[in-house]
Amino acid sequence: MYPRLTSSLLIVVCAMAACTRGDSLEDIAEQELERSGPGGNDAALGRVRAAARCMANPDRNINYVAAEMEGVIKARTKSQALIYYDGYRVTFITPGGQVTQVTFDLVEAKPSLQQMTAAFGPASEVAKGWLYGQTSGSTGARIHILAEPVSMPAEGNGLVRRIIVRRARGR
pLDDT for 7? 57
The predicted model scores a pTM of: 0.73
**Do 67 and 129 fall within a single domain?**
yes
Parent domain of 95: 45-167
Give the C-alpha separation, 160 to 11, whole Å: 47
Number of domains in the chain: 2
Q: Is the pLDDT confidence value at 131 over 60? A: yes
Indicate if 51 and 32 belong to the same structural domain: no
Q: Do residues 49 and 31 both lie within one domain?
A: no
Same domain, 73 and 112: yes
Residue 54 sits in the same domain as residue 9: no
Tell whether 82 and 7 lie within a shared domain. Answer: no
Whether 29 and 100 map to the same domain: the answer is no
* Residue with more model confidence, 72 or 10: 72
- Same domain membership, residue 131 and residue 59: yes
CA dist 106 and 10 (Å) reads: 49
CB 100 within 8 A of CB 169: no
Sign of the Cα torsion 155, 158, 161, 166 reads positive
Statement to judge: residues 77 and 16 lie in one domain: no
Radius of gyration, CA atoms only, the chain:
23
Task: Indicate whether 28 and 71 sit together in one domain.
Answer: no
Question: Do both 32 and 68 map to the same domain?
Answer: no
* 27 and 67 housed in the same domain: no
- pLDDT at position 90, please? 93
Share of the chain above pLDDT 70, in %: 75
Looking at the predicted structure, is the pLDDT value of residue 59 above 90?
A: no
Mean pLDDT throughout 141-147? 92
Q: What is the pLDDT of residue 4?
A: 62
Per the CB < 8 A criterion, the answer to whether 89 and 83 are in contact is yes
**pLDDT surpasses 70 at 24:** no
pLDDT single digits (tens) 72-97: 889 999 899 999 998 899 999 999 88
